[in-house]
Amino acid sequence: MKIAALQMVSTTEVERNLDVAAGLIDEAARAGAALVALPEYFCLLGQHDTDKLALAESDEAGGAIQQALAASARRAGVWVVGGTLPMRTADPQRLRNSCCVYAPDGKRAARYDKIHLFAFDNGREHYDEGRVLQAGDTPVAFDALGLRIGLSICYDLRFPELYRALCRPPCDLLCVPSSFTYTTGQAHWELLLRARAVENQCYVIAPAQGGVHENGRRTWGHSMIVDPWGEVLAVRAVGAGVVMAELDTARLQSVRQQLPALAHRRSALGAG
């Protein structure tokens, strides 16, 4: 089956971003994708971190962003991994960075809240998501298209223990919607994605922000799909667009049979 990572260069205007996302979802669906994934912060990259607070939506009542994702899934008839959106918490000064997944009928199938919050300071660039975000605490995987699919977000990529937790039982596909900085992406993005694919013997889909944004931030892009042997099947360096590849379950099983590392890992830890 075909899967698609949707790369964006999100702006400071939510409606514009939702329109671009909807167009990319439709484009991928027309090309035959059964599952599409949007990048982190697809709905907004504001001038300030606190801009997200005004957009935070309710988990129970929903909101315009969640409605747009559900409508796109239903209209295109595909599974939509909805990047991330700001989800309200009990603290008005904190929100969750949430990845919501929608089935082709528009119903929400999963929600994952980013566990690891990015911080970086090299003297020229400074980021600290903990100023606004509240960390999640629960790994989330869901079943779709005959696959077990694990969810993660951006900075989570640096923490292999999260993926070990997700892969019990093994995932067939790991999703990593991201907004890597240019600096950290250039150094580590492909390296980490391929490592997660190889060590968990599964496909990885990594939709990213890719370009220079209205707020002056530059993101690395290079949205990609990686196979269980660590081969990069498709990649887009910069700019909005669709990155598509075939997820071959026979390839998945072949890799696991030839090199039964997952079975060895479970046995070594006393789980099989």
At residue 271, the pLDDT reads: 47
Inter-CA distances, 179 with 60, 76, 134, 254, Å = 27, 25, 18, 32
The whole-model pTM stands at 0.97
> Do the beta carbons of residue 243 and residue 224 sit within 8 Å?
yes
Tell me how far apart the alpha carbons of residues 259 and 272 are, in angstroms, rounded to a whole number.
17
> What's the chain's average pLDDT?
96
At residue 272, the pLDDT reads: 42
> Tell me, what amino acid is at 188?
H
Per cent of the chain over pLDDT 90 is 97
Low-confidence winner among 47-51, 115-119, 185-189 (lowest mean pLDDT) = 47-51
At residue 265, the pLDDT reads: 81
99 is catalytic: no
Tell me how far apart the alpha carbons of residues 187 and 249 are, in angstroms, rounded to a whole number.
31
Q: Given the residues 52, 99, 100, 114, select the one marked as catalytic.
A: 114
Residues 6+ apart with CB under 8 A from 119: 127, 128, 129, 130
DSSP 31: T
**Which string of b and e fits 104-126 if b means at least 16 CB within 10 Å?**
bebebbbbbbbbbbbeeeeeeee
154 is catalytic: yes
All domains of the chain, ordered by start, with CATH? 2-268 (3.60.110.10)
At residue 267, the pLDDT reads: 54
202 is catalytic: no
Q: Given the residues 40, 57, 129, 190, select the one marked as catalytic.
A: 40
Q: Given the residues 43, 99, 100, 154, select the one marked as catalytic.
A: 154
- Average of per-residue pLDDT across 11-20: 98
At residue 269, the pLDDT reads: 54
At residue 270, the pLDDT reads: 52
* Interior angle at CA 129, CA 122 and CA 40, nearest 5: 105
In angstroms, how far is the first alpha carbon of the chain from the final one?
31
